[in-house]
Copies of this chain bind each other. A is one copy, B any other.
Amino acid sequence: MAEIVECVPNFSEGREKSVIESIVDEARKIKGVKLLDYHPDADHNRTVVTFIGNPKDVENAAFNMTKMASKLIDMSVHHGAHPRMGAMDVVPFIPVLGITMDECIKMAKRTAKRIGDELGIPVYLYEEAASIPERKNLAYIRKGQYEGFFDKIKYDEWRPDFGPQSMNVKSGATAVGARVPLVAFNVNLNTSDIEIAKAIARKVRFIGGGLRYVKAMGVRLEERNIVQVSMNLVNYKGTSIYQAFEMVKMEAKRYGVSAIGSEIIGLVPMEALIDCAQYYLKVEDFTMNQVLEKRMLE
């Protein structure tokens, strides 16, 4: 059975095409890696890349991209709307097929060590690869951003997992981790009242007492003059897409509002959607081994 890992590195350049292409080329160059998508954002001055492949090649591509980013990007002159702390800001490994989270954690640790040792960049392990619970949360690690790191890295609690305990002026610091695939799922409502979307989001999300693996916020869709509950499902095997959908509909009822549509943003594992088909069709005794494409990938 094939082993396939997904990697979604974010680097701090979203404007200079030649720089972006040179960094992305490091993934293109490796034969066992398939580049699925890359999305430069000029406002954020940041590019999100998605690629997949066998573990060894994915690891090498992630390291080579980090090396190229550290060569071409100078963080001391970087500006952009998105929080960031390094030239290669964050590198998550995501188990996709025939591979466990534990193996992805090992990939993260090996890559982090190489970045620390060979490139002299302080590296923090995050999410499933985190060495202490606080560092599971990327936002916690990145607090204060590039500029704030020069001071905070002096403290014992900010000793990096790999690399020097001092800031790399040109390349900043990098977070490397392992996580399950995210599903970005939004539900559109037939109202323009943003307060309703916000209220529903608060009831649906984990921190509001809602579904365990759901993050949610209310968003206005200006062009359509409607609002949306915008969600991140951080573990679709734990909380299903249909659960999030049905819970939004349930909360919407008290405001006399309906779900008129939904969106899935970016890539989604087939299992997350097939799970919904099984629920709504009430399928008994189904296994993913009945899915032709699952068998083709074995």
- Which A residues fall within an 8 A CB radius of B? 4, 6, 34, 36, 52, 96-97, 181, 188, 241-242, 245, 259-264, 266-270, 273-278, 280-286, 290-298
* A297-B296 contact given A261-B282, A276-B281, A284-B262, CB 8 Å threshold: yes
Instruction: Give complex CA distance A270, B241 in Å.
Output: 17
Interface pair B242/A268, CB less than 8 Å apart: no
Give chain B residues whose Cβ lies under 8 Å from the Cβ of A259: 282
Would you list the 8 A-B pairs with minimal beta carbon distance, nearest first? A276-B277, A273-B277, A280-B280, A261-B284, A270-B293, A277-B277, A273-B274, A261-B282
Contact of A283 among B262, B282, B284 (CB under 8 A): B262
Copies of this subunit:
2
Some 10 contacts from A to B, beta carbons below 8 A apart, are: A181-B292, A242-B280, A260-B282, A262-B282, A264-B286, A267-B290, A270-B274, A270-B293, A270-B294, A273-B291
Cβ-defined contact, B276 with A96, below 8 A: no
- Contact (Cβ within 8 A) A281 B34: no
List 15 additional contacts besides A34-B298, A36-B295, A277-B280; criterion CB under 8 Å.
A6-B292, A181-B292, A188-B284, A241-B281, A242-B281, A263-B283, A263-B284, A263-B285, A267-B295, A268-B290, A268-B291, A270-B293, A273-B277, A274-B274, A276-B276
Chain B residues whose C-beta falls within 8 Å of the C-beta of A245 in the assembled complex: 281
**Min CB gap A223→B, angstroms:** 13
Q: Chain B residues near A263 (CB, 8 Å)?
A: 283-285
Contact B52–A296 (Cβ < 8 Å): yes
CA distance A86 to B293 in the complex (A): 31
Chain B residues with Cβ under 8 A from A297's Cβ?
293, 296-297
- CA A264 – CA B275 in complex, angstroms? 13
Chain B residue with the shortest CB-CB distance to A293: B270
Q: Is B277's CB under 8 angstroms from A290's CB? A: no
A6 CB to closest chain B CB (Å) equals 7
Contact A292 B267 (CB under 8 A): yes
A293 touches which one: B242, B261, B293 (CB < 8 A)?
A: B293
B262–A290 touching, CB < 8 Å: no
